[in-house]
Structure 1
Amino acid sequence: MEYLTFSLLLSCCLKFANSLSSTETPQAPAPIPTEKLLVLTVATEETDGFHRFMQSARYFNYTVKVLGMGEAWKGGDVGRSIGGGQKVRLLKEAMEALADQEDLVVLSVDSYDLIFAGGPEEILRKFQQANHKVLFAAEGLIWPDKRLADKYPSIRSGKRYLNSGGIIGYAPYINRVVSQWNLHDNDDDQLFYTKIYLDPLRRETLNMTLDHKCQIFQNLNGAVDEVLLKFGTDRVRVRNTVYDSLPVVVHGNGNTKMYLNYMANYVPNTWNYEHGCSHCDDDVVDLSQLKEYPNVLVGVFIEQPTPFLPEFFQRLLTLDYPKDKLKVFVHNNEVYHEKHIQKFWEENRNVFNSFKVVGPEENLSQGEARNMGMDLCRKDTTCAYYFSIDSDVMLTNRQTLKLLIEQNRKIIGPLVTRHSKLWSNFWGALSLDGYYARSEDYVDIVQKKRVGVWNIPYMAHVYMVKGSTLRNELKERNYFVLEKLDPDMSLCRNAREMTSHREKDSPSPESFHMLRPPKGVFMYITNRHDFGRLISTANYNISHYNNDLWQIYENPVDWKEKYIHKNYSKIFTENYMEEPCPDVFWFPVFSEKACDEIVGEMEHYGTWSGGRHMDKRIAGGYETVPTDDIHMKQIGFDKEWLHFIREFISPVTLKVFSGYYTKGYAVMNFVVKYTPERQAYLRPHHDSSTFTINIALNNKDTDFQGGGCRFHRYNCSINSPRKGWSFMHPGRLTHLHEGLPTTNGTRYIAVSFIDP
């Protein structure tokens, strides 16, 4: 009997075990359809941040409902203190109509400092995997009450603290959460959600949890070092390297808004290696479709002695833009430059619509002057754009104004850099103390390996601002003055932060943990075209007569453009030179401006040698074939002249004397003055050089009569020197030569005995 009972029991157990083994594994729940996801966001104004949020939402086809648009913000200045309750109140009101939709998933997110990096399908899949009814974003920093830290549930890994910038859940459950709100608009939203979450009973009843490992929500505050950009073929993602996750929602909370701006230059599809800039042509202005060009006020700021200022004004004059649509405001802080401005004004007084100059006698600070320029556009309702440019910007692109207007940004600057340097007019990032930091992409943008329109935290030197922006978002009139900051940094900080009230002291770090509704204006730099360059003003010495001549080291490109003959490069591309006598080569090297300024510098110095044999300036003190001259060393130009020889004469030497590599060294470098009254000619002689250059500094028949050079060995004379052209001939042994008489006027030549 006992045996039978045991057998029956064993049989029943086996049947039960077989029934368990044959039971099918439960199927995963069906995916939530994307049309069942509704995004709710609060935005009382259409800021740049809001438009960026909506752009990323449209890219992924999110259904977005905006709450509070046009409503006055009463949620407090939560960038400096607690607040944000208005967002909960608006969400509560919206959820009342959605509470019965049990299959609706609601995603509540901030908008001004948030972007989407993934689509609805991905976010719904990850929400289902979390297996909770309500999921909050998480962060590693606690706000607003640090005393609540110990009340948070312990976790093995991940972020422990709640962030209210991102919530996802089924509509009835979201409604049950927000329906508990009975506070004021300026009470703290994050504290409200935190207290609900920290109540074990309510947390369990509402089936709430946090997105501890950033599967859906990535808050950047305190986590910048955890994230990086992951470039794909179709779009760019943000990757959390600690949890190896690809967050769908990226939130630049706290003091990470500038880092979010950097990320949003790429995420989700703003720029990638395959297609470059995908939004650069969005919302552009087609100037060809306008009845007339918009009015532009050009603000020019000369705050320190600046080389090549006449050339700067000429480039302004040659901008391809109707001059009757340009008003010019100039602030000049340097007495030295008054002569340049006066000359330009006298020659072009009727070219522009108006031309206003505020000089050094007004004793304005940089900030005051820049405020004045911007205010002129702000007060003039016909001013469509304000274009600010410093005198150290050389615009080489005549289309600059048109190109900037076409991009249709509130604030945009053209990229300009110093020649062959990484120094530019923008910063890609800021340090914690608000000064320069190099962004990961800075070098690539400067070197144009990445081309586009870039949201940046700081710009200077040259930029364009919409007149409407000056009369709305930037309507206050003291943007360039902020304690301890220079004017450009003040402008950029004020534009970025756009605080409702100004305080001299920076807010404490703790105050950045919450999002205030920022009205910050985005600033952009474009490197889609070559616009020009920055010149160096650091070592500009104005003690000379023609000071730009000394800029061959500091600003070599501008020096070459001003002082080297326009046909110089043809020597190498088209063999643009002559050989009037055997081994005597004749080629263009100096511009007329160079010739005139060298002569002017010598005459300003004024102490000509008189052509005497006794000469203390040379070794031994005796010159066998003396000239009436001034040495380059006497005017402090010897070092610059030798550099000129190495840069512009040595390449020609290698071309015409094949196989000879010059050292480009010369002891005797001087300007000779021939006149019938003092010294009209030079007797036959050899030069103490391997080769000699002889550059004509003025024009025959216009400035003098006669002159020229005769080479005895070949009985060959050159009687028609061209201004700015140089002879080059061997100095010793073969080329005995003499200077032919100058019969009238004054003849000037620059001579160097090279490789003595």
Structure 2
Amino acid sequence: MLLFDDSGYAYVNNFVQNTRPSVILGSTKGSQLLNHLGNYVGKAWSAEDGYLQCSTTSLKTSENTWPSVTLALFITKPIPFIREFLATVSRISYPTSKIDIYFYNNQKYNEEEIEKFLQNAKKLYQTVEYDNSDTELGEREARKAALTFAKEMLNDFIFMLDGDVHLITPETLQLLVDTAIAGKFGIIAPLVTLHGKLFSNFWGALDSNGYYLRSEDYIEIVDGKRTGIWNVPYISKAILISKEKIKVLENSYTYNVMVDADMSFCEYAREMGYFMYVDNQHYYGFLVDAEDFVSDERLHPEMYEIFKNRYVWEQRYIHPKYYEALNSRNIPQPCPDVYNYPLMSENFTKELIEEMEHYGLWSSGKNEDNRLAGGYENVPTVDIHMKQISFEKEWLYFLDEYVRPMQEKLFIGYYQQPVEAVMMFVVRYKQGEQSSLQAHHDASTYTVDIPLNKRGRDYEGGGIRYVRYNCTVPADQIGYAAMFPGRLTHLHEGLPVTSGIRYIAVSFLNP
């Protein structure tokens, strides 16, 4: 049993004999336990002072003398938010003259974005080698090819990075190389986890079948309550390997074809006696949840990822000025009780339009509407409901998480959580179809109208007139919500679109 003395240093206690052993021997099967104990005993880690084993070199020499690295990127399955992944790769703070790129992608969905990245990479990095989408190379062979590539390039390290790892700290590669040199770590991974969850890219222990078993320190390492560099039996997703280990690991991914490539790699390293480490001394980044992500059923499948990947979803889809507005004392009020604030990013508005047009089944704009319970719409529009593109749950959650807080801020004293809405839809205005909308009240406690495209570029005309106040607003700021009371006070009309096509997203909240 591992215990800590009054000074914070770890020791092993034999409860059977009530002794503190000076030497511990273990069989091959016991080596994992010995590695675990080695993370703590011998003044390796202290409950008072933390990790004690090595310092770093800080790479203070000229960048021309920094170690050369193969940056090997892998997309081996459907993964959301590859665009954002590529952006984090581009922000890696390491001399591009010291980096060679190897890129493997077997997903058609990401082909265009990756091709753009590669064309730019060819201008920046020393060498760029890739297999993009139409490759016949399997994952195991690709990972082996990356190791061979690094060896042929005579690189000092290879950094193998999977597409579901988003490195937030640009200095990650510097820090890892620095640590690997100082501590002579041949195989080391930065800790990355799913946001708000315990799932990570390392295992602290293995069961008898070689699969995940939670070690007694796993949660504290993941939560950052214990920081250091930890000898562990399994790492994945982001791995830095020194040139000495590159030479002996080329066949690691094909060592055991009965398990996944990552498990084969770790099994090989364990059985050959090559230690693997995970470093949680810094916050490096996070994992995207790619479980059950399907890339070929929708035009923009990331739009549907608000539940599983909210953090990165928000970066793409929420207006960059939303939180500034939420915390501001002054929200523009162009007409009485009509508030205008940033809500949706231009990425979101563009993708929502494209998703609707991809679906394509716009309503007729007539009173008869079999989508409604009564089959009749008093004030019809040419539209598509969120429910029709299976976006109802996601949109409701979006309204509750981002619109409701602003409503509570502006319409003081009114609370309803979660919000309710049945009518949530995108309206299309254009000449020859439906260019305007008669004056009407909305069947809501309050309404949110969000312009999705740009006047002067996509259409001319348009806007909203609030009849009671004889007040007209252009309603042409992309992604800016117009929020106003629904029934009773805010009779309003949609002004004619004179050319082009205007799109707006409409939600009747708490009917």
Q: If the TM-score is normalised by the length of the shorter chain, which range does it land in? A: over 0.9
Identity across aligned pairs (percent)?
41
Residue identity opposite 1:399 in structure 2 = E
Provide the C-alpha distance between the structure 1 equivalents of 2:382 and 2:49, rounded to a whole number of angstroms: 66
| 8 Å contact kept, 2:78–2:293 | yes
Alignment counterpart, residue 258 of structure 1, candidates 23, 28, 32: 32
The aligned residue for residue 405 of structure 1 is 177
Q: After superposition, what is the alpha-carbon deviation per residue over 1:531-576, rounded to whole angstroms, capped at 9, x for unaligned?
A: 1111122221221111111111121111111101111111333346
The aligned residue for residue 107 of structure 1 is none
Structure 1 residue 478: deviation in Å?
Answer: 4.3
The aligned residue for residue 486 of structure 1 is 260
Structure 1 residue 296: deviation in Å?
Answer: 1.2
Alignment counterpart, residue 743 of structure 1, candidates 489, 498, 506: 498
| 8 Å contact kept, 2:139–2:261 | yes
The aligned residue for residue 557 of structure 1 is 311
Structure 1 residue 479: deviation in Å?
Answer: 4.2
Provide the C-alpha distance between the structure 2 equivalents of 1:545 and 1:566, rounded to a whole number of angstroms: 24
How does the TM-score come out when normalised to structure 2?
Answer: 0.95
The aligned residue for residue 4 of structure 2 is 230
> Gapped runs of 5+ residues in structure 2?
none
Change (3 A) 1:375 1:427: same
Provide the C-alpha distance between the structure 1 equivalents of 2:422 and 2:313, rounded to a whole number of angstroms: 23
What is the total number of aligned residue pairs between the two structures?
Answer: 504
1:571 aligns with 2:325: yes
Alignment counterpart, residue 287 of structure 1, candidates 37, 59, 81: 59
Residue identity opposite 2:493 in structure 1 = E
| 8 Å contact kept, 2:451–2:475 | no
Provide the C-alpha distance between the structure 1 equivalents of 2:285 and 2:23, rounded to a whole number of angstroms: 39
Q: After superposition, what is the alpha-carbon deviation per residue over 1:378-413, rounded to whole angstroms, capped at 9, x for unaligned?
A: 2322x1110101111111111111111111221111
Higher RCO, Cα 8 Å, sep 6+: 2
Alignment counterpart, residue 649 of structure 1, candidates 361, 385, 403: 403
Structure 1 residue 257: deviation in Å?
Answer: 1.3
1:379 aligns with 2:138: no
| 8 Å contact kept, 2:8–2:47 | no
| 8 Å contact kept, 1:228–1:241 | no
Change (3 A) 1:572 1:258: same
The aligned residue for residue 432 of structure 1 is 208
Q: After superposition, what is the alpha-carbon deviation per residue over 1:434-458, rounded to whole angstroms, capped at 9, x for unaligned?
A: 1111100000011111111111110
Alignment counterpart, residue 358 of structure 1, candidates 120, 131, 134: 131
Residue identity opposite 1:441 in structure 2 = D
Q: Identify which range, 735-744 or 422-431, moves more after superposition.
A: 735-744
The aligned residue for residue 396 of structure 1 is 168
Provide the C-alpha distance between the structure 1 equivalents of 2:423 and 2:120, rounded to a whole number of angstroms: 41
| 8 Å contact kept, 2:147–2:250 | no
Q: After superposition, what is the alpha-carbon deviation per residue over 1:49-107, rounded to whole angstroms, capped at 9, x for unaligned?
A: xxxxxxxxxxxxxxxxxxxxxxxxxxxxxxxxxxxxxxxxxxxxxxxxxxxxxxxxxxx
Structure 1 residue 340: deviation in Å?
Answer: 2.7
> What is the DSSP-based 3-state SS (H/G/I as helix, E as strand, rest coil) of the residue aligned with 1:485?
coil
The aligned residue for residue 140 of structure 2 is 367
1:5-20 superposed matches below 5 A:
none
Larger radius of gyration: 1
Residue identity opposite 1:326 in structure 2 = I
Q: After superposition, what is the alpha-carbon deviation per residue over 1:470-498, rounded to whole angstroms, capped at 9, x for unaligned?
A: 13xx2553444314222111111211221
> What is the DSSP-based 3-state SS (H/G/I as helix, E as strand, rest coil) of the residue aligned with 1:688?
coil
Q: After superposition, what is the alpha-carbon deviation per residue over 1:349-384, rounded to whole angstroms, capped at 9, x for unaligned?
A: 423222222245442332111111111112322x11
| 8 Å contact kept, 1:577–1:588 | no
The aligned residue for residue 69 of structure 2 is 296
Structure 1 residue 326: deviation in Å?
Answer: 1.9
| 8 Å contact kept, 2:475–2:482 | no
Change (3 A) 1:700 1:440: same
1:311 aligns with 2:65: no
| 8 Å contact kept, 2:448–2:507 | yes
Residue identity opposite 1:531 in structure 2 = Y
Q: After superposition, what is the alpha-carbon deviation per residue over 1:231-256, rounded to whole angstroms, capped at 9, x for unaligned?
A: 43152111111121112223344421
> What is the DSSP-based 3-state SS (H/G/I as helix, E as strand, rest coil) of the residue aligned with 1:560?
helix
The aligned residue for residue 432 of structure 2 is 677
Provide the C-alpha distance between the structure 1 equivalents of 2:171 and 2:315, rounded to a whole number of angstroms: 20
| 8 Å contact kept, 2:430–2:498 | yes
1:651-666 superposed matches below 5 A:
651-662=405-416, 663-666=418-421
Alignment counterpart, residue 686 of structure 1, candidates 441, 449, 459: 441
> What is the DSSP-based 3-state SS (H/G/I as helix, E as strand, rest coil) of the residue aligned with 2:266?
helix
Structure 1 residue 621: deviation in Å?
Answer: 1.5
1:248 aligns with 2:22: yes
Q: After superposition, what is the alpha-carbon deviation per residue over 1:121-158, rounded to whole angstroms, capped at 9, x for unaligned?
A: xxxxxxxxxxxxxxxxxxxxxxxxxxxxxxxxxxxxxx
Provide the C-alpha distance between the structure 1 equivalents of 2:278 and 2:47, rounded to a whole number of angstroms: 19
Provide the C-alpha distance between the structure 1 equivalents of 2:254 and 2:370, rounded to a whole number of angstroms: 57
Change (3 A) 1:400 1:734: same
1:588 aligns with 2:360: no
Q: After superposition, what is the alpha-carbon deviation per residue over 1:701-742, rounded to whole angstroms, capped at 9, x for unaligned?
A: 222222111112222221152111101111110111111222
Q: After superposition, what is the alpha-carbon deviation per residue over 1:210-249, rounded to whole angstroms, capped at 9, x for unaligned?
A: xxxxxxxxxxxxxxxxx33334315211111112111222
1:461 aligns with 2:215: no
Provide the C-alpha distance between the structure 2 equivalents of 1:673 and 1:394, rounded to a whole number of angstroms: 37
The aligned residue for residue 140 of structure 1 is none
Q: CA RMSD in A?
A: 1.7
Change (3 A) 1:576 1:289: farther
Change (3 A) 1:267 1:576: farther
Change (3 A) 1:234 1:606: closer
The aligned residue for residue 217 of structure 2 is 441
Change (3 A) 1:621 1:475: closer
Provide the C-alpha distance between the structure 2 equivalents of 1:483 and 1:601, rounded to a whole number of angstroms: 40
Residue identity opposite 1:597 in structure 2 = E
Residue identity opposite 1:271 in structure 2 = W
Provide the C-alpha distance between the structure 2 equivalents of 1:599 and 1:235, rounded to a whole number of angstroms: 60
Provide the C-alpha distance between the structure 1 equivalents of 2:433 and 2:309, rounded to a whole number of angstroms: 38
The aligned residue for residue 228 of structure 2 is 452
The aligned residue for residue 538 of structure 1 is 291
Q: After superposition, what is the alpha-carbon deviation per residue over 1:327-367, rounded to whole angstroms, capped at 9, x for unaligned?
A: 21111122332233223334544232222222454423321
1:615 aligns with 2:369: yes
The aligned residue for residue 383 of structure 2 is 629
How does the TM-score come out when normalised to structure 1?
Answer: 0.65
> What is the DSSP-based 3-state SS (H/G/I as helix, E as strand, rest coil) of the residue aligned with 2:31?
helix
Change (3 A) 1:645 1:626: same
| 8 Å contact kept, 2:253–2:262 | no
Q: After superposition, what is the alpha-carbon deviation per residue over 1:586-642, rounded to whole angstroms, capped at 9, x for unaligned?
A: 111111100110011111122222422211112212212111111111111112111
Provide the C-alpha distance between the structure 1 equivalents of 2:129 and 2:99, rounded to a whole number of angstroms: 12
Provide the C-alpha distance between the structure 2 equivalents of 1:651 and 1:355, rounded to a whole number of angstroms: 47
1:269 aligns with 2:269: no
Provide the C-alpha distance between the structure 1 equivalents of 2:377 and 2:368, rounded to a whole number of angstroms: 6
Provide the C-alpha distance between the structure 1 equivalents of 2:124 and 2:153, rounded to a whole number of angstroms: 20
